Each structure stands twice: as structure tokens, then as C-alpha cells.
Amino acid sequence: MRIHRLKKSKDFSLTLKRGRSIADSSLVIYYKKNEESIPFRVGFSVGKKVGKAVERNYYKRILREMMRKYSLRIKNGYDLVIIARVGVREKGYQEIENSLLKLLKKASLLKGDFMV
């Protein structure tokens, strides 16, 4: 399933300023309820401390794929910004996926009784 992306810097900044956040050593998720009843929208950010552009794009692709994979299980009506921290470099795909799911569950963004 296709995921809806946050692309405008206005949308990013509103989510970062007015949204709530939840974090662990490798990821930070900012989320806020959006006004529309559209499916969730998500934006990705990876700072320069993580590495050069090739490495930053790699982590964005990984996170994008994880969100696509679980898109049917995420509640609609939210804007999300997922930021990868430097700690993401020490983790493998499975650890990053577990971290993302734990944060989504902790923020109550997963539908139903999805087990992590």
C-alpha cells in the first residue's frame, strides 16, 4: 500500500512544533492529529551526524519501507515525522524495525491489539 508523505516544510514544522514526541536511542517520532480525516502522513529526517548522503538515504529508504509494510496497522488522521538518530548506525534492520514498532505502540498509533 502507498503511504502518504509529508513534503512541505510547513507541514514538517507544524508537526515538530505542535506535536508530541516519543524517542529511544535510535529514533524519535513526532506526531500530531491532523485536521482532515485522511490516512496518516509521514515524513522522514536523518541528520548529517548519521553519515554522508548515501548512508542517510539508506536509512530513509529503510524507514519508508517499514512504514509501508505496517501502513494498514497505523491509525489514520495523524501526521508523523520520524527522525533517525546517530544510534541507528549500530542497529540492524530487525532492531530498527522493533524500535519503530515499540515507539508507535507506546504513542498509541497502532490499530487494535497489534503485538510487538
- Ordered structural domains, the chain, with CATH: 4-103 (3.30.230.10)
Q: How much is the pTM? A: 0.91
Residue 17 scores a pLDDT above 90: yes
In this prediction, residue 47 has a pLDDT band, given cuts at 50, 70 and 90, of very high
| Dist. CA 44–CA 42, nearest whole Å | 7
Q: Which strand (E) or helix (H) includes residue 2?
A: none
**Rounded mean pLDDT of the chain?**
91
| Dist. CA 64–CA 19, nearest whole Å | 20
Residue 13 scores a pLDDT above 80: yes
Residue 28 scores a pLDDT above 90: yes
For cell 527522525, name the residue: 83
Beta-strand runs (E) in the chain: 4-5, 20-23, 27-33, 41-46, 78-84
For cell 512541505, name the residue: 8
**Cβ atoms 27, 85 nearer than 8 A:** yes
Q: Which three cell numbers stand for residue 93?
A: 534492520
pLDDT, greater one: 78 or 1: 78
Residue 116 scores a pLDDT above 60: no
Residue 115 scores a pLDDT above 90: no
Q: What is the DSSP letter of 74?
A: B
